[in-house]
Every structure is written in structure tokens, then in C-alpha cells.
Structure 1
Amino acid sequence: MRLGLPRPGPARVVAVTTAVALAAGAAGWLVGARVRSPADAAAAHRPPPASLITVAVERRTLTATVTAQGTVAYGAPQPLTLTGSVAAAEDGTVAAPLVTKAPAAGRTLREGDVLLEVSGRPVFVFKGSVPMYRILRRGSSGDDVQQLRAALRRLLPGRGVARSGPLDGRALDAVARWYDKRGYEAVGPSREQRAEVRRLEEAVRSATGPALADAKADLADVRRTYGISIAGGEVLFLPRLPVRLTTVTVKAGGAASGVIGTVSDPALVVNGDVATDDADLVRTGMPATLEHSSGATFPATLSAMGAGAVPAAGASADGTPAAGDEGAEGSQEAAAAGTPIRLRPRNPAKLKALAGQSVKITIKVGGTGHAVLAVPVAAVYTASDGQARVSVQDGAGKVRDVPVEAGLTTGGYVQVTPGGAETLTAGDRVVVGNR
């Protein structure tokens, strides 16, 4: 359908003119709406009026901590050295002592255990600080004998072994019982000794007069040391038991002498360092938390610090000797990084799989012990009069200053106690900045 225009003439001119005027007016309005003066443009870019940033006062328990990095490890390893020789063969032959059954690294040695076999003979571990350095026989006395008596009393409480005194028949019977219990035979009198006793007994029976007294004296002298004996190499006294056999350096068929491995405390510990600035804040006995990268946490206690917590030079994290040991120089460099600390986990068995791995150490050095009013550190400022204050904004936007006494600061929060006539309660909004 076509729209008709007025016929040529005055009416048509008026219509066209009107349409052009309307179109021009619309275009002018659109342009005017989009064009602004410089003043209007500047006003549109002005920042909004400033407003305060506030946070709520909280009631929470604050705990102050010191953090460090540590490594799960066994106790400092100590060398394990064989002393003395095992008993000779029954026929009296003496050969170079050889390891006939080597120990296994990683096992825990307890009192009375057989560490290894040398030439078929057992080497027992007993608790004691004096090394075994001789053959012990009936009548022997000394510190090593008292250590042996103490061990027998612990291992065989029903055998009636006396607490002290020279080795007697009852103590030696207990020795024979222990050997038998572990599947070995204690060393008794040699063939020659037995023959000598029989000869002297016969001499006593046949002697008369002054010769009888001499024969009896000779027999008494032999019997004074006659009986079971313990070879110096068949007992190894260790100051502490149980211990973990960390490393073994001998094999079956090898020479049985000198250092044969290392032992360490079987209980796992955590060795680390705290920053020098934090060292004055910590002390032994403080509770701590160990956190593994997996997120698992374990309670622990700070057991040593300073020189008493320095790991042995050359020991790796799992208690084995480290390659490339730098000796004292390496220890000094480690100490320079901070103050050494050692922690004992409350449940060491749960950390067995983490030996040699790193953990985060968090030591609790203080705390409020109960819920207190706390605000972010940024909320507290010191006025010109030296009084610590916080600014509280009410619901209407009005701000009032409240004097406070600042307490423990930790984790970005500070304990506050309102002073004067002003009040401060949990939920109040305190100013921490503006925007």
C-alpha cells in the first residue's frame, strides 16, 4: 500500500517543512543529551564521600605461639663397639673371632637380647655403664659384677640373686639359666680344670698328716674360681636400653672386632631450630603441635634446647650416618641458623612412618587461658596523652573514643580491657581504617 503525499502546492510545502523541522529537533536533543560540559565531566569523576571501615569486637581465647621447622628423627646415634673375646672352643683351640650371625639394622635391642653371634657364641646386651673388659668367674668382684647382678635380678627375678657381693654359685646358676633360656650353653670348667679338680680331690683322700692340710688348701684354691665363667666378649654393657640398632657395618664371615654399627634411642624425636629473636620466649616443658604437610597433627613437648638439643655431627634425619659429614664446622653452621630445639612427641609410634620428614612446629608460649575482648591490632592507637584507645562507631554513624588497656598480642589480634567510664562489649564496631 502506497502512502500518498499532498498534491503539489502550498500544502505539500508546509508538510515537508514541518517534517524536516521535527527531525532536526530530535537530532539536536540526542546530541545535547550526550554532550557534557568540562565541569559536569569533572564532577562525575569525583570519589565518593569517605566512609569508615569497622570490624566487630570479638570475645575469643588468645594463644601466643612460636613457629619453626623440624625433622622427625631417631635419637643421636652412638657407636657400638665389641670388647673382649668370646669363649674358646671345648677342645681349647683359639681362632680369629668371626661373625657367624650378623645383627639386623632397624631392630630394637632390649636387655638380655642376643646382638650377634661370634664364632658360634652369643653376645648379650645388658644395661650398664662400665664396659666388659675381663672374664668373670666365681669370686670376681667390682662394678662390672654389680652390673651383671643387677641385670640378672631384672631378667630372672625369681632366682634369688643377691644385690651385691662377689660372684657366687647362685649368681652363676642364674647366668647358666639365662644362657639356656636363649638357646645357648654357658661356659663351664674346661677339660683341664675338671681333671685338676679330680686330681686334687684324690690327693685329699689319700693324704695324711701335714700333706692332707696342703692338699685341702690346694683344692680350696682351685674351687674358689671353679665353675661357670663369662667371657669378656659375650656381654656388651650399654648405658641405655632399649636402643634402636641404627646401622650395622659387619657381615657374617667378617672379623668381629671394633665398631660394628651404631645404636640410637628408639623413641622418635623432632629436631629443629627457633629464630634467635624467639629463643627467649621458649623453655623446656612447653606444649607444642607438630603438623605434617598432609595436614596430620601430633602433640609434643619441648624437651631440650641449646647445646643439649644439637644432633650428633654426621647423623642424618633418620638416625643414620650422613654422607659428606663436615664435622664440627657443619654443626656450627647449623647452630648459627638459630637456637637448636628438640621435641618429644606424646605418641612417638604414630610418627614412625614420618622418620626423616619435615614438620611444622608450633610451640605455645602463652595465652589468656579464657575468652577475652579482642580487636585487630589496627584498631588500637595511642593518643597524644599516651593512652591506648579504640574508636567505636554506633549504628547512627557516630564515633566515640574508648580508652583501653592492651594485653596479649598474637595472630593479628590484641586483648583489650576498657577503662574509665566508657564501655566496650563484644559486637561493638571499632574503626580500623577508612575508604
Structure 2
Amino acid sequence: MQFVVSPAEIAARTAPPEPGPVTAPVEERVIENTIVARGEVTYADAIDVTIDAAAGEERPVVTGHVPEIGTVLKPGNIALEVAGRPVIVLPGTLPAYRMLSVGMRGPDVVQLKDALGALGYAAGDPGSDLFDYDTAAALGALYEQTGYEAADGGSEARLALRDAERAVRDANTAVAQAQADLKDASDGGARNVIGEQAAVNSAWVELTDAQESLVTAQEGVLPRLPSSEVLFLGDLPRRVDDVSVARGDILSGSPMSVSGAALTIIGSLSKQDAELLSEGDEAFYPGPGGEELHATVQRIAAPASRGESEDGSQEEGASDGNGGGGQSGGDRYTVTLSPGDLTSEQIEALRGTNVRLRLPIASTDGEVLAVPLAALSAGSGGENRVELLIDAKNGADAETEIVEVEAGLAADGYVEIISEEPRLVAGAKVVVGR
């Protein structure tokens, strides 16, 4: 019997509603205009590390300092130990490709001096591309701090230095002896002292040559930087994401991959949405437990032009990023956000996930009076107004009144209204249709 419905009840259910205005209540609410996007939570700029192991004198055996995943590499840290020698991390974007020593010039020397200067070492004139004595001294201090002896010319260079020092001493003795012989010849009244003077001159020439050789030999034992003992990385610090070697392995290929040390959120936006945002703007996203977390916009990057790389250089055969013609994701702007202060548990739970981003671009200062957008109309003079329900009566004869209002922020189907009309309060009804 519960499924049996009388004809009268069916007629009541299907009967049209009483004629009259369709109304909606005036509400008190916060109106917030937001941009909604998706973002990947990740460690940005992952790269595979390469070390010039072939430049070392010994077999490239990994002997120690193998980092664990999650290790943060900072300037001056040791990334790896190969054949008993350190691979020192320094800031820079130009890979090491040759040994640097006193007297050399080039952009790699400038990079090294900048890196040493950033660590607090006096590495010489930063505006010069010359590897000088100050650069060598700073490099030696860096090696001493890491607990290793700086590379130099080796045993052959040290032997050459001893020989050069001995040659200078012998040359000084020869000069002194030639000068004594010349003095004796002059004091003895000999008229012909040309031979003794020539011997003095010859001794001085030999001393000068010996001193120049000594300078060269001294440079040979000054600290130098082999390309196998340095790892230049941009945007330090960096986080170790993966390690592919162990102690005792022969180094071949990339021993590890690293990325930015700070967790970031990377999303994409349309041009229209991107132009509404600025660096420093606040954003919100859900945490692993459903809690709302705060993020901050760090960077907004425009897409590269079609057929052009991000650095502005022309790329051969560039496409629109979609494997063919037409619109693509390459037309969208990239937004990078800092995810805020997170616990280690939150970091592990969020890393590698895709989250919903909410980016407010305008908001009312607290709750305001708001009505549906359909309740707002324009008068003949362009003024904004709403139709306020005064008395519903029997529907068809409902009494309403047009009230002029000032419209504020609109979002999510609602618009803020400002009016001096005392009857226009929360709970009052306004007409949205008939």
C-alpha cells in the first residue's frame, strides 16, 4: 500500500506552482575571486651529475663520501671521493673541462674566483680572468678546510723546485766569486780587467736565468684545480635524489642526480589568469590530512615563443609542444610556488603528488551583504538596483520595491551590495526571476 498514490496526491504534486516572483535571500558571506589550477609538488630542476673522472691520474675508483638520498649539497661540500681525492661542490654553471693553475686565463677562471669569493676566500681581482697567486692561495685554503692536500705538480715539480733553488744558490756564489776576482784584479794594478768584468756579467746573466727558472718552479708547486676534483652546480644548495654508485665501484657515467633543495609547486595558467597574479601572492592547497596549507607565488614565467627556446635562441624543428600544429600546453604560463613550512612527514606525503591550487586575486574584508548575480539589474541611468520583496501575499499579488544599490566584488555567482536601505539586511528576499 505504501506504493499506492491517490489521484488527488498525484495532481497536487504535479500542479504548477503559485504564480509570483522567484526570490532568493540576502546573505552575509565573504566573496573571494580566485583562480583554480593544478600543481605538481616536486624538487625542481633535476639534473644528472657528471664528473670528469678521465682527467684523474689514478683509476676512478669510488673510495668514499658516497652521499645518501636526501643529502643537501652546499658550496664547499664534498660530493664524492674518487681515488682518494675529493670532488668539491662549487657554485657555477660552466662544467669543469681542464685543470686550472697559475697563469691560466678564461671564463672558467672567473667562475672559480667568484665561487671562492662567495665562500669568503680572497681569490684575487674578481674582474680579472687570470689565475694568480691569490687564487692559488685561496684554493689551497679551501682544500685545507675540506681536510685534503691541494693538488700540485707532484713529485717532479717538487724536485724541479729543489733543483731551481740550488741553481740560484750556485749562481749567487758564482756572482760573488766573479766580483771578488774583479776586485783583486783592480787592486793589483792590473790594467787589463776586461776578462774579470766579462766573468761578472756572465755570472749575473746566469743568476737572472736561475731566478726566472725558480719562479716557474715555484708556480709548479702551487695549488691547482684538476677538473676531476670539482663539481660546479648552479642554484645551490642541491638535494641528492638518486645515487647510482657505491664505495669500490669504478666511476662511469653519472654517479648521482640532484635537484633543487627546496620543495616547490609548479603549475600552469592561462595568460589571462597569469596577468592577475604577482610574485608574493598567497595561495592555498590541501595537505595530506585534508588540512589547508599556505603557499607563496615565487615566479611567473611566460611561455617561450614558438620555435624559440627559453633563453631566446632559435630551436631547429621546434613544434608547438603538442607533437603537431594547433594550440598546446606551451601557450600556458608556468607558475612556481613555495609550499611554505612543512613537517618532514608532510614533505614525504606531498612529494610527487598533484594538488589543487586556489589563488585568491581579490576578496572582501570579511563578510558582506551579497545577493545572486541574477538579482542585480541596471536602471535607465546605468545605476545598479535590486527588487526587494516587501510582502509575498498570495504570490501573484506580491508587493516588491526597486532599491538602488552599489555593487562590489562579484565571484562564484554572488555580488556584494552596499545600500542605506534599512530593510535590505541578511535574510531579506530579493527577486531573481518571475
TM-score by length of 2: 0.71
Residue 311 of structure 1 is matched in structure 2 by none
Q: What secondary structure does 1:184 align onto?
A: coil
Mapped to 2, the partners of 1:339 and 1:186 lie a distance apart of 49
Q: What secondary structure does 1:151 align onto?
A: helix
Gaps spanning 5+ residues in structure 2: where? Answer: 1-6, 175-202, 305-319, 394-398
Question: 2:354 aligned with 1:392, yes or no?
Answer: no
Q: What secondary structure does 1:271 align onto?
A: strand
Contact map agreement 2:86 2:148 (CA 8 A) in 1 = yes
Partner amino acid, structure 1, of 2:251: A
Structure whose CA Rg is larger: 1
Contact map agreement 2:269 2:334 (CA 8 A) in 1 = yes
Residue 208 of structure 2 is matched in structure 1 by 213
- The alpha-carbon distance between structure 1 residues 286 and 212, as it changes in their structure 2 partners (threshold 3 A), is closer
Question: 2:261 aligned with 1:298, yes or no?
Answer: no
Residue 408 of structure 1 is matched in structure 2 by 409
Partner amino acid, structure 2, of 1:271: I
Residue 351 of structure 2 is matched in structure 1 by 355
Mapped to 1, the partners of 2:139 and 2:38 lie a distance apart of 49
Contact map agreement 2:265 2:339 (CA 8 A) in 1 = no
Partner amino acid, structure 2, of 1:230: L
Question: 2:19 aligned with 1:57, yes or no?
Answer: no
Residue 200 of structure 2 is matched in structure 1 by none
Mapped to 1, the partners of 2:253 and 2:74 lie a distance apart of 21
Question: 2:237 aligned with 1:235, yes or no?
Answer: no
Question: 2:94 aligned with 1:99, yes or no?
Answer: no
Partner amino acid, structure 1, of 2:154: S
The aligned runs of 1:281-360 (5 Å cut-off) are: 281-282=276-277, 284-292=279-287, 294-302=289-297, 303-307=299-303, 335-336=328-329, 339-345=332-338, 347-350=340-343, 351-353=346-348, 354-360=350-356
Deviations 1:136-161 (A, max 9, x none): 22333433333333333343x3x654
- Residue 278 of structure 1 deviates from its aligned partner by 4.9
Partner amino acid, structure 2, of 1:228: P
RMSD of Structure 2 on Structure 1 (CA): 3.9
Question: 2:51 aligned with 1:82, yes or no?
Answer: yes
Mapped to 2, the partners of 1:192 and 1:367 lie a distance apart of 74
The aligned runs of 1:69-218 (5 Å cut-off) are: 69-83=38-52, 85=54, 87-88=56-57, 95-101=58-64, 102-155=66-119, 157=120, 160-164=122-126, 166-207=130-171, 208=174, 209=203, 210-218=205-213
Mapped to 1, the partners of 2:11 and 2:116 lie a distance apart of 99
Q: What secondary structure does 2:254 align onto?
A: strand
Greater mean alpha carbon deviation, residues 65-74 or residues 287-296: 287-296
Mapped to 1, the partners of 2:236 and 2:11 lie a distance apart of 85
- Residue 341 of structure 1 deviates from its aligned partner by 3.5
Residue 317 of structure 2 is matched in structure 1 by none
Contact map agreement 1:269 1:348 (CA 8 A) in 2 = no
- Residue 133 of structure 1 deviates from its aligned partner by 2.1
- Residue 258 of structure 1 deviates from its aligned partner by 4.3
Contact map agreement 1:271 1:340 (CA 8 A) in 2 = no
- Residue 110 of structure 1 deviates from its aligned partner by 0.4
Equivalenced residue count is: 369
- Residue 233 of structure 1 deviates from its aligned partner by 1.0
Identical-pair percentage = 33
Partner amino acid, structure 2, of 1:83: D
Contact map agreement 1:99 1:118 (CA 8 A) in 2 = yes
Mapped to 1, the partners of 2:326 and 2:56 lie a distance apart of 48
Gaps spanning 5+ residues in structure 1: where? Answer: 1-37, 89-94, 309-326
Greater mean alpha carbon deviation, residues 193-202 or residues 206-215: 206-215
Partner amino acid, structure 2, of 1:296: E
- Residue 43 of structure 1 deviates from its aligned partner by 10
Q: What secondary structure does 2:93 align onto?
A: coil
Q: What secondary structure does 1:104 align onto?
A: coil
- Residue 256 of structure 1 deviates from its aligned partner by 2.8
- Residue 338 of structure 1 deviates from its aligned partner by 7.9
Question: 2:277 aligned with 1:261, yes or no?
Answer: no
Contact map agreement 1:117 1:123 (CA 8 A) in 2 = yes
- Residue 51 of structure 1 deviates from its aligned partner by 6.2
Mapped to 1, the partners of 2:26 and 2:404 lie a distance apart of 14
Residue 431 of structure 1 is matched in structure 2 by 430
Mapped to 1, the partners of 2:137 and 2:111 lie a distance apart of 16
Greater mean alpha carbon deviation, residues 381-390 or residues 365-374: 381-390
Mapped to 2, the partners of 1:42 and 1:150 lie a distance apart of 88
Partner amino acid, structure 2, of 1:206: D
- The alpha-carbon distance between structure 1 residues 77 and 387, as it changes in their structure 2 partners (threshold 3 A), is same
Deviations 1:205-253 (A, max 9, x none): 2233143333233223322443222212101111221011223334444
Q: What secondary structure does 1:299 align onto?
A: strand
Contact map agreement 1:128 1:238 (CA 8 A) in 2 = yes
Mapped to 2, the partners of 1:114 and 1:108 lie a distance apart of 11
- The alpha-carbon distance between structure 1 residues 44 and 127, as it changes in their structure 2 partners (threshold 3 A), is closer
